[in-house]
Amino acid sequence: MDHHCNTDRTHKYPAPPSLVELGLQDRPLPSKRLSGQDLTKLKKFRFQLLCDWLVEQFDPCRIADIGGGKGLLAYLLQESGWQATVVDPYNQALPNKYKDLQNDRRVRIAPTERVPRLAQPFTPDLAVDFDLLLGLHAHGCNIRIIEAARDQGCDFVLLPCCVIDEPAVPPPDKHWLPWLADYARQQGFAVQHFQLNFKGQNIGLYNTGHTG
C-alpha cells in the first residue's frame, strides 16, 4: 500500500460511486417528489438516524463513539440500553435538547445527565474494552479504527468524511469510500455499505464478519 502525504491536495479525487455501484440499489431509481418521512433530513439529525440504524443492526453492546463530540449519539444509545462511551480529546457538554424524529417532538436532556467519556485521542489499545468501534465523520481515525478492530477482534461502523490526517490515502483515480472498504477487506473483513437519510456524506460501511 502506497503512503502519501496527507496534506497533498495537488489532485482531485473522482466523483463518489453511485448507489448501484455500492450495492445499495439494484438500478437507478426515477426522480420523484419526496414527502413525509422520506424527505431528506438535515445533517444535524445524523445522530438520531444513526442511532436507529445501529439499534436495528446490532444487539446492545459496548460501543466507542470515536470523535463523538458533545455525546448526543452516545446518550441516545445509552437510553436504548447500550454501554456507550465517547472517545474525544475535547470534553464537551451534552446538548440540552434534541428532536425525537419518530414522534416529532422536542426532548429535553437534564443538565445532570452524563455519558462516559475518555478525554483523549483514539489509540488502538483502547479497542480492547469495546465490542464495536464507531467513527461518524471521525477525521484521521478511519484506518486506525479498522486496524484496531482487526487486532482486537471487535466490529466497526464508519461514515468516513475525508482523508485529512489519515496515515494513508487512495491514489488519484480512486475515491476514498470504496478504497477504504477495499482496505478493510484486505484486513480480513467482510464489508457492506449502508446509507442514512440526511444531507451530506451519508454513506457508511461496516463489517459483517471475517473472511479469514
**83-87 and 62-66 as β-strands: parallel, antiparallel, unpaired?**
parallel
- Which residues, other chains included, contact 91 with Cβ-Cβ below 8 Å and sequence gap of 6+? 117, 119
Arithmetic mean of pLDDT over the chain: 89
pLDDT at 11: 44
In the predicted structure, residue 12 carries a pLDDT above the cut 90: no
Confidence of residue 3 (pLDDT cuts 50, 70, 90): very low
* Confidence tier at 16 by pLDDT (50, 70, 90): confident
- The CATH number of 41-210 is 3.40.50.150
In this structure, is the dihedral angle defined by the CA atoms of residues 24, 26, 30 and 33, taken in order, positive or negative?
negative
Single pTM value for the model: 0.86
For the stretch 139-151, pLDDT in tens is 899 999 999 999 9
Residue 6, pLDDT above cutoff 50: no
